[in-house]
């Protein structure tokens, strides 16, 4: 989808954190802190977190610091960001908002204001995109 | 007034002159060996040709030329353009008619 619909300029895609498990918050903080240095870095960290998903259950500060180094972030800035309680609070507030909106299925999608719950095959997405 | 050549001189020097001319034609400076760079350029047809400078660059790094786009090969690739909208991180064209938000967990 990114290679077709996003690349062509027809779709823009954003990410909203769902915190379903205890380690979810730290992973979300890593993405948020990457994005704080550069919005492009958010997506690099986003990709890396999914690639290393199995490591996240036991990840510690050093694990995330290694991720940051791997995608070219400035280490000390990242460390300070990860320790900033305001960052965690912001992510938790986003999670509260989605629960208030009754978005509880993971993943869910908001496409031009309509909520779709559950994973969507690409063909279904294309049909939704084609709707007026 | 034209003086005829001496026949002995003519007999001796004509073959010598011809020999010198033949040697000059076959010899001369040897063709220099190609330098390492020249040798690679001749042997490797994949040697890249310098690309023309792009003046209207996309907002972020370029993408592989094979990346499909809906608007043809000359269209801008938005898949590398990241930005923040309403406090969320987005990828794509900020003016895209379709706005999609993925609610998900990294775990």
Please report residues of B whose CB lies closer than 8 A to that of A5.
70, 98
**Domain containing A46 — which CATH number?**
3.40.30.10
Return the axis-axis angle of helices A39-51 and A24-37, rounded to nearest 10°.
150
* Tokens found for residue A129: 């995109």
Query: Which residue of B91, B94, B95 to mutate against A (max A Cβ within 10 Å)?
Result: B91
* Tokens found for residue A44: 């690099």
pLDDT band at A131 (very low <50, low <70, confident <90, very high): confident
Q: Which domain holds residue A111?
A: 2-130
Please report residues of B whose CB lies closer than 8 A to that of A24.
105-107
pLDDT band at B14 (very low <50, low <70, confident <90, very high): low
Domain residue extents for chain B: 7-43
DSSP letter assigned to residue B9: H
Task: Report the complex ipTM.
Answer: 0.96
For A12-81, the DSSP string reads EEEEEE---STTHHHHHHHHHHHHHH-HHHHHHHHHHHHHTGGGGGG--HHHHHHHHHHTT--HHHHHHH
Q: Whole-angstrom Cα distance, residue B90 to residue A41?
A: 11
pLDDT in tens, B41-64: 333 334 333 333 322 332 232 333
What is the pLDDT, as a whole number, of residue B26?
A: 41
pLDDT band at B11 (very low <50, low <70, confident <90, very high): low
pLDDT in tens, B86-98: 999 999 999 999 9
pLDDT in tens, A31-59: 999 999 999 999 999 999 999 999 999 99
Is 60 exceeded by the pLDDT of residue B35? no
Partner-chain residue, chosen from B60, B69, B103, that has the shortest CB–CB distance to A107: B103
Is 90 exceeded by the pLDDT of residue B74? no
What is the pLDDT, as a whole number, of residue A27?
A: 98
Number of domains chain A contains: 1
Chain A residue with CA closest to B62: the answer is A7
Is 90 exceeded by the pLDDT of residue A126? yes
């Amino acid at each position: 989808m990114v290679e077709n619909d996003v690349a062509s300029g027809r779709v823009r895609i954003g990410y909203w954190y769902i915190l379903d498990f205890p380690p979810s918050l730290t992973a979300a903080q890593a993405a948020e802190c990457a994005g704080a240095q550069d919005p492009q870095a958010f997506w690099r960290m986003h990709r890396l977190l999914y690639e290393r998903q199995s490591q996240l259950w036991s990840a510690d500060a050093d694990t995330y610091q290694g991720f940051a180094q791997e995608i070219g972030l400035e280490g000390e800035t990242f460390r300070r960001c990860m320790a900033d309680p305001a960052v965690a609070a912001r992510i938790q507030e986003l999670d509260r908002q989605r629960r208030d909106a009754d978005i509880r299925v993971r993943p869910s999608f908001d496409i031009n204001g309509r909520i779709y719950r559950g994973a969507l095959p690409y063909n279904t997405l294309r049909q939704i995109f084609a709707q007026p | 007034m034209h003086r005829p050549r001496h026949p002995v001189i003519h007999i001796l020097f004509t073959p010598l002159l011809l020999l010198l001319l033949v040697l000059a034609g076959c010899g001369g400076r040897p063709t220099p060996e190609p330098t390492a760079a020249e040798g690679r350029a001749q042997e490797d047809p994949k040697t890249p040709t310098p690309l023309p400078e792009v003046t209207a660059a996309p907002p972020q790094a370029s993408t592989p030329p094979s990346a499909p786009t809906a608007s043809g090969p000359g269209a801008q690739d938005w898949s590398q353009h990241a930005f923040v909208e309403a406090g969320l991180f987005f990828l794509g064209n900020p003016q895209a008619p379709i706005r999609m938000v993925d609610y998900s967990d990294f775990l």
